[in-house]
Structure 1
Amino acid sequence: MATFLYRLGRLSFRRRRIVVMLWVAVLAAIGIGAMSAPGTSSGALSVPGTQSQKAIDLLQKEFPQASADGATARVVFEAPSGQKLTSDVNKTEVESLVAKLERSPQVSGVSDPFTSGLVSKSGTIAYAQVSYKVAEADVSGAAHAVQTDVVAQGEKAGLKVSLGGNAVKDKAASKVAELIGVGVSAVVLVITFGSMIAAGLPLLTAILGVAAAILSVTLATHFFDLASASTTLALMLGLAVAIDYALFIVSRYRNEIRDGHEPEEACGRALGTAGSAVVFAGLTVIVALSGLSVIGIGMLTSMGLASAFAVAVAVVIALTLLPAVLGFAGMRIMKGKMLTRRMKALERGEGESMGVRWAKFVTRNPVKVLAVSVAGLALVAIPTMSLKMALNDDSGKPPGSTQRIAYDTLSKGFGPGFNGPLTVVVDARDSDSPKAAAQDAYTMLSKLDDVAAVRPPSFNEAGDVALIGAVPKSAATSEATKDLVGEIRGHGTALHQDTGADLMVTGLTAVNIDVSTKLSDALIPYLAIVVGLALVLLLLVFRSIVIPLKAALGFLLSVVSTLGVLVAVFQWGWLKDLFGVDQTGPIVSLLPIVLIGVVFGLAMDYEVFLVSRMREEYVHGAEPTQAVVEGFRHSGRVVTAAAVIMVSVFSGFLLDDEALIKSIGLGLATAVFFDAFVVRMTIVPAVMALLGHRSWTLPKWLDRVLPNVDVEGEKLRHALEAEQTDSAPEPVLAGVAAGFHAGSDGHGAPHAFTGLHTSGDDPDTPAPAQQAPGKARGLSRFKQRLARGGDATAPADSAESKAPARRKLPKNPLRRR
């Protein structure tokens, strides 16, 4: 793997113009194809095999005019203060608005409030139920325009008109979060590298990678039905991991330049080492996201696969386009004009970075640090035991939005249950008396305590399938309504025994309950599959049993702690004013499982980036504790920068008015913070310091079975050393052949690959470049200019390569002390 990536890096660097032109051609082709794509479709949830879905399928067959799977809207009317809707003037206006809705495009039916009994007892509030022939995502702009006109016309007549339901178009999402994310990413990258060019490359390649991924997902809608949320998650994750991967490779490339390698060689070595880590980090993310397809919900499957594809594109971009762009940047990427004094001192090898000091502190006090970290996360996780989940409805819309006003107005006039009516289907095709079976069901529903109203049964043309409407007394997302649905389905068993008819409960409320149950049941199997596959990948990468287990257990600890924070804020109401949460309620059912998929991928990124460098140092001879410290020296800054970027991006979603978006933002930001800073940068080094050499042990039989993927570049190092030895020139007298620097033994010291001389007399004197035929591959052109007394404008952060202590590097050219 490392050798292949080394060659790929050099090839992309050398043929950079061809690589860039190929990517431009690919983007153009995908863009042209995406322009004619139908786009993503409805994001409606459907769970094949559930009772609510079976009922919907039956209604589509027996009641095609009902548009069982179509979008719905509730138009709520409220009379002016001191008046009633039943007055002649207001009634005439309402009937006029209802008639306008009936003429709207795509509408299959509208219930008149006055003839359907949809007027409150006080006479001040009424609503019309509008059914559409098409699904939520397919409601046209013309239909939305009619909704807007109805609201405007009603308010002009003095009525308060509001809209609810899934056919109502949400307010356009704010782009503040994305802008904040890009802005913070740019600032963090500049601080990390101290160079505008070095900071700009990860952003540039990330944006191009995300564009390619989103256009490809859009193009795929020619062939597949994808949920509208697919592109949103793919955009968020694609941007996140693309910046991370490019950041990691650019950082390693700069380190290789400082070690004296010419840019092309440095690029090959950076891809051979950091690129291997990127490949396996990307694979773990892809595994986690693809695992969403095992749940059996179409929307989650499309979200997971689209996001996994975006991550795959990010990996390919980092391995091909990024080296080409590095080739165009050349040595300019080393010019750190924005470095502080401390950063310049660290570049010269003077002093220690905060990451190194932290690693030494943790490895000196592993037991105390481990105990405090685990206890702290366990304490935060306590609220998770009270976790309740439900799918969101209009009660979670921002205050002041038309959906929220409609929800509150209906609750005030009819009770909260009217926002989540139930549809009861009686399938009496196998019954001897279909009408008697439907009447028994109607009577049973009327006697239930939590039922506020029941609509008499209506039959299909054959008279053997009946439709009954039931309105709960409690809110759609409450536990009482969930229990009511279970109770009705329980009575269905007795009805079948008595009459031979099947009773099914459907409607948006029942569908949401079934989806929530399905997600809850799938949580543990999903965790087992994702963690299991990721453990196998990490076992291959690190050739250790302890490290994959530690990575998985640390991830589980960060997830339960994050769920504890979400429960405390959104369910219990702690600090809700600080986060702008106006009301509490159950956690959205989709959030925990999406959180697991997204955060597991990012967590394994940080694990691979940090621990792969520790393994590289350990394989090259460092003691376990020293390997931990060296891992932080080289990768701690990169992991910190990546985590800060992610936390900032996700925190930007807290500025949104909608509770669902706030919970997603807080959940992802908290999870990344816990996992990166508490688990990966605190618990991981503490555990490795305690275990010592045992962290890297692997049973001999397993060592023989597992393939060696060489993520640390050990095979690459040996290959380069062998090639260096084979290409060493014949010894000549000092000064006879130009291009050789006489060593203490009178022989020329070759500079292939390492860019170092071996003179024992004056280690600080730069050696001239070798002038042998062919392309020089070892000594960097930058050092050649210094040797000739040429370009004196050396980059500020290259001073480290000139320090005497840096001249005596170990035999291994990939290892830095």
Structure 2
Amino acid sequence: MASSLFRLGSFAARRAWAVVITWVVLLGVSVGAFLAFGGTLTNSFDIPGTASGAVTDQLAEKLPDTAGGTGTVVYQTDSGEAFTDAQRQSISELAASATELDGVAAVIDPFDAQKQQQDQGIRLSTAEARLTEGRAQLDAGQQQLTAALDQAVAAGAGPEQLAALDAQQAQLDASRTELEAGAAQLATGTGLLELADGIGVVSEDGSTAIVNVSFTDPRLELSEEVKQGVIDHFDDSPVPGATVAFGTDIAQGVPQIFGVGEAVGLIFAAVVLIVMLGSLLAAALPIVTALVGVGVGVTASLSLSGVIDMASVTPVLGVMLGLAVGIDYSLFIVNRHRRQVLAGVPVRESIGLATGTSGTAVVFAGSTVIVALLALNVTGIPFLGLMGTVGAVCVAVAVLIAITLAPAILGLVGERLLRRKVRATIGRQKEQKPARRMSTVRAVTTVLVSIVALLVIAIPAMSMRLGLPDGSTEPEGSTSARAFSIVDDEFGEGANGPLLVTATLDEGVSEDTLPDAQLAVAEVLGAQSDVEAVAPIAASEDGTLLAFQVLPAEGPNSVSTEELVQSIRNLPPVTSDAVTGAMTLGVAGQAATNIDISEGLSAVLPLYLVVVVGLSLVIMVLVFRSLLVPVIATGGFVLSLFATYGLIVSVFQFGWGAELIGLHSTGPILSFLPVILVGILFGLAMDYQLFLASGMREAYVHGAEARLAVAQGFQAGRSVVIAAALIMIAVFGGFIFSESTIIRSIGFGLAFGVLLDAFVVRMLLMPALMHLLGRSAWWLPRWLDRLLPDVDVEGAALERTHPGAHPHG
């Protein structure tokens, strides 16, 4: 491979303008494809085969009006007082006209719903009064009839008179039977009304109202155009004296792909490059090539968003990875070229050598990241697999840019890559100080301190809870955050995440027995802990499927709501005298869907971790021709990974130091974050392992004593690894200050994951363990050595045929 890349780099340097123009054309084509075919991004995440998905499918078949997505529009008076008649009328008119919007199935007028609820209460109260009055009349009639019968018997009345009294008794009994039947219906209605107490759309003080919008399409298929149409409808007709806010179900914003924080991170990366490479021109080259790579990779991926459901975080992940690895990979080649030119190697030959040696390492390092990202497809989770694929495409483009465009630009720049003063020192490179191996005491201390520190940092990971963002995690001051807060304050926490519960019957119930069946289910649900209210909302035409709204005590991401969903699913089938057979319960709704997705991702994490760790061992054995070095590398990766999990839980779940990054609310960890981090951090960890351990192996193979080889390899590779890690941390760290909690947590996890792995594991723990192992670190059974192909990652064969190449100096 090194020889092929040498020829490729040399060709790119000779045909520089052709290569540059080719990439400019590719960028133009990608941007054009995006503008022509790009669609909208979604904030919905789904996993096929979940329990809530099965319930949603059942609803779509038998109760399609309840299967569509829903949205909440929240109105609140500016004064905090009750709505005026004019305000109520304006909101009602807007709700009525919203039914004509594309994709909208129904809209509930909150004031009409409130009136219906009040009217029902009045009707039940009136019926209760009439029932009491009727019972009193029947009791009085019974007393009179009993007295008359006693008198007639005492007076020796004849059969005709007694028959007449018996007829009156039969009529009285029939009236009582009819009255008691009505009493039973009244009790059912009263019971349902009492259980539903707490579910409302107008606050007690009358200052807040919720307009519920139902869509024709399911939540996961709901287009951004339909949701934006609803937002525009209510926004464009403001109600004087009242403000409007929209729930996350329709107003969760698509995160900004590149903002101020990301720009600051890029500036910091530029500073690191200037310090490392010594000139503005040299520092600009990796940034320019990385930006071109991101432009090609991300826009090409986005061009498919018109035909593929793509999560909004997917292109942001592509930008993160494209920038970070793009800068690093170009840096490796530019730095190698710069050192060789300083040593007196002609420019074009140096470009070929840098591409053949460091370029080979770049291709290998990029391949590990690509394979780890593509392996996300083995999880069987579509949106996660797509994220990994887009990330892999961006990394692949970064690799291609590094081995083609970077050499081309180096060829155009020539010796101007170096400052004028530095050019005068070409061929007079200073010799490095000889490396000194560490002491065994220092190695033992370093190993113990590093491992203990990582384990302590990882402790909070044992308390990790997974979930998906709700309105509380939206940017402070955003419309969805305001809506969530208003509903929380005025209607209770559970109103932000009601559950949709279904009861499936083997045999349908009739219209007469339907209320009794609904009451039986509602009573069972209402008896569960952390249930505030239950209300029946629909029944299928054949009477085999009943739907209920359940209001939990706490929000959609709370522990109690998660436990409530599980307890309802674990309930035995409900029985009732009004129903033949039993009613099986199921749970759907956004809160239940989020719980199912989080559980699915949590379940797949161990499998994916095993796949990645196994992949790590195989690749490391192949590259380093050793058994213990792969174990060290992989063990260190696992340690840094769980320490990263611990930091994420500490900040985003426990809230420790959250204010330092501007985080205004805490909650469960983003459900797919642990899986994403495994893939990305594994690839990046292997990058740094490669650039440090390969130097150690080269020194050992060339005759250096094992412990001295560790010191020599570390000294040769540390500067470029430090610079590369700082650049990664800067780029990822810029995303920590994104307005989106999803992007913020991913940026935090990647930044601190690289920090821990590069500076604690690769630069402290790994060299110390290699020192303690000595020669045994490079042991490999002879039979396995004969079977393994010779992977010349550092291009040693190329260096032997080109004496001007200096691998690490």
The normalised TM-score by structure 2 is: 0.82
Asked if residue 536 in structure 1 is aligned to residue 585 in structure 2, the reply is no
Query: Aligned with 2:269: secondary structure?
Result: helix
**Selected match of 2:329 from 245, 254, 267:** 245
Q: Decide which moves more: 504-513 or 365-374.
A: 365-374
- 2:315 corresponds to: 231
- 1:77 corresponds to: 75
| Counterpart mapping for 1:446-465 below 5 A | 446-465=526-545
TM-superposed deviation, 1:512: 0.3
Going from structure 1 to structure 2, the CA distance change for 1:557 and 1:222 (only over 3 Å counts) comes to same
| Counterpart mapping for 1:201-212 below 5 A | 201-212=285-296
**Selected match of 2:605 from 486, 510, 523:** 523
- 1:162 corresponds to: 245
TM-superposed deviation, 1:713: 2.3
Give the distance between the partners of 1:708 and 1:288, measured in 2 at CA: 22
Asked if residue 263 in structure 1 is aligned to residue 263 in structure 2, the reply is no
TM-superposed deviation, 1:18: 3.2
TM-superposed deviation, 1:138: 5.8
Q: Is the Cα contact below 8 Å between 2:105 and 2:215 reproduced in 1?
A: yes
**What letter corresponds to residue 488 of structure 1 in structure 2?**
I
| Counterpart mapping for 1:307-706 below 5 A | 307-335=391-419, 348-349=429-430, 365-428=442-505, 435=514, 440-491=520-571, 493=573, 499=581, 501-706=583-788
Give the distance between the partners of 2:295 and 2:221, measured in 1 at CA: 23
- 1:51 corresponds to: 51
Query: Aligned with 1:114: secondary structure?
Result: helix
Q: Is the Cα contact below 8 Å between 1:8 and 1:320 reproduced in 2?
A: yes
Give the distance between the partners of 2:222 and 2:361, measured in 1 at CA: 43
TM-superposed deviation, 1:322: 1.9
**What letter corresponds to residue 165 of structure 1 in structure 2?**
T
| CA offsets 1:751-798 (integer angstroms, 9 cap, x no match) | xx436xxxxxxxxxxxxxxxxxxxxxxxxxxxxxxxxxxxxxxxxxxx
Higher relative contact order (CA 8 A, sep 6+): 2
**Selected match of 2:302 from 218, 242, 267:** 218
Q: Decide which moves more: 577-586 or 479-488.
A: 577-586
Q: Decide which moves more: 208-217 or 475-484.
A: 208-217
- 2:2 corresponds to: 2
Give the distance between the partners of 1:40 and 1:401, measured in 2 at CA: 21
Q: Is the Cα contact below 8 Å between 2:313 and 2:743 reproduced in 1?
A: no
Give the distance between the partners of 1:671 and 1:389, measured in 2 at CA: 19
Q: Is the Cα contact below 8 Å between 1:287 and 1:534 reproduced in 2?
A: no
Going from structure 1 to structure 2, the CA distance change for 1:710 and 1:103 (only over 3 Å counts) comes to same
**What letter corresponds to residue 485 of structure 1 in structure 2?**
V
TM-superposed deviation, 1:501: 4.6
TM-superposed deviation, 1:658: 4.6
Give the distance between the partners of 1:597 and 1:495, measured in 2 at CA: 48
Q: Decide which moves more: 233-242 or 272-281.
A: 272-281
| CA offsets 1:513-554 (integer angstroms, 9 cap, x no match) | 001111111111111111211221222111111122111111
- 2:803 corresponds to: 754
Q: State the structure with more CA Rg.
A: 2
TM-superposed deviation, 1:321: 2.1
Q: Is the Cα contact below 8 Å between 2:255 and 2:739 reproduced in 1?
A: no
**What letter corresponds to residue 60 of structure 1 in structure 2?**
A
Q: Is the Cα contact below 8 Å between 1:193 and 1:336 reproduced in 2?
A: no
**Selected match of 1:115 from 112, 115, 134:** 112
Going from structure 1 to structure 2, the CA distance change for 1:303 and 1:645 (only over 3 Å counts) comes to same
- 2:373 corresponds to: 289
Going from structure 1 to structure 2, the CA distance change for 1:378 and 1:184 (only over 3 Å counts) comes to same
Going from structure 1 to structure 2, the CA distance change for 1:88 and 1:334 (only over 3 Å counts) comes to closer
TM-superposed deviation, 1:480: 0.6
Give the distance between the partners of 1:530 and 1:438, measured in 2 at CA: 50
Give the distance between the partners of 2:521 and 2:29, measured in 1 at CA: 59
**What letter corresponds to residue 44 of structure 1 in structure 2?**
S
Give the distance between the partners of 1:495 and 1:549, measured in 2 at CA: 58
TM-superposed deviation, 1:136: 6.9
Q: Decide which moves more: 361-370 or 399-408.
A: 361-370
Q: Is the Cα contact below 8 Å between 2:293 and 2:397 reproduced in 1?
A: yes
- Percent identity between the aligned chains? 40
Q: Is the Cα contact below 8 Å between 1:495 and 1:503 reproduced in 2?
A: no
Superposition RMSD on alpha carbons, in Å?
A: 3.0
Q: Is the Cα contact below 8 Å between 2:255 and 2:743 reproduced in 1?
A: no
| CA offsets 1:125-179 (integer angstroms, 9 cap, x no match) | 321111234557864558536525635755x521243221321152863711221
Asked if residue 302 in structure 1 is aligned to residue 364 in structure 2, the reply is no
- 1:11 corresponds to: 11
**What letter corresponds to residue 731 of structure 2 in structure 1?**
V
Going from structure 1 to structure 2, the CA distance change for 1:534 and 1:222 (only over 3 Å counts) comes to farther
Give the distance between the partners of 1:704 and 1:448, measured in 2 at CA: 66
- 2:33 corresponds to: 33
Q: Is the Cα contact below 8 Å between 1:381 and 1:561 reproduced in 2?
A: yes
Asked if residue 147 in structure 1 is aligned to residue 231 in structure 2, the reply is yes
TM-superposed deviation, 1:663: 2.9
Going from structure 1 to structure 2, the CA distance change for 1:456 and 1:347 (only over 3 Å counts) comes to farther
The normalised TM-score by structure 1 is: 0.81
Going from structure 1 to structure 2, the CA distance change for 1:399 and 1:183 (only over 3 Å counts) comes to same
Asked if residue 125 in structure 1 is aligned to residue 216 in structure 2, the reply is no
Asked if residue 278 in structure 1 is aligned to residue 348 in structure 2, the reply is no
Q: Is the Cα contact below 8 Å between 1:84 and 1:90 reproduced in 2?
A: no
**What letter corresponds to residue 472 of structure 1 in structure 2?**
P
| CA offsets 1:289-340 (integer angstroms, 9 cap, x no match) | 112222222211111111011111111221222222222122222336599x
Asked if residue 93 in structure 1 is aligned to residue 90 in structure 2, the reply is yes
**What letter corresponds to residue 562 of structure 2 in structure 1?**
K
